[in-house]
Amino acid sequence: MAKTKKTAGKIKGGRAPKKELAKKAARKVAKEGPRPHVYRRSLRAYRQIRDFQRTTKVLTNRAAWIRCIKSAMDELPNRTYKTLMRIKKAVASIIHELAEAFIVKLLTDAVDAMAHAKRVATTPKDLHLSIRLRDYKDNVLFGWKPLNPGN
């Protein structure tokens, strides 16, 4: 029988030669230094929550709230008030803080409802439940009710 040239077959699994592995490892060590410490996502979120709880500054942009207030003022029915009304900076900041406090309280109630239902994500039904429980339909700011409701 005559010798025939053997063709290379496909490698299925198997190990790579040791020389190639050593070269790859040497390149990796030369390229990289010590790796930076990476924190878990949940730890970073808890740290942000603690930081936000310590601060007293507002969390959202003031200009956006002023635009929102002005658009609400534009929807007033009487045209003469629109031209005469202006808003002071102190009043805008008070409205801003009240609205943020309202939103934070509403979302806190929604998170409590989510935890009660043993879920890990808030859903619209949690927000609806927190709105129904606090009865925000009639009295917008923190359960405030007028002194004499008969009038």
How does pLDDT run along the chain (151 residues), one tens digit per residue? 566 666 665 655 566 566 676 777 776 665 666 777 787 778 888 888 888 888 888 888 888 888 888 888 877 777 666 566 778 888 888 888 888 888 888 889 999 999 999 999 999 899 888 888 877 655 554 444 544 555 4
The pLDDT value given to residue 151:
47
3-class DSSP state of 148: coil
Q: Which helix (H) or strand (E) holds 61?
A: none
The pLDDT value given to residue 115:
92
The pLDDT value given to residue 142:
47
The pLDDT value given to residue 119:
92
Cβ contact 105:66 at 8 Å:
no
Integer Cα distance of 74 and 26 in angstroms: 69
Integer Cα distance of 125 and 113 in angstroms: 9
Integer Cα distance of 20 and 22 in angstroms: 5
The pLDDT value given to residue 146:
47
The pLDDT value given to residue 14:
61
> Token match 């998170």: residue?
111
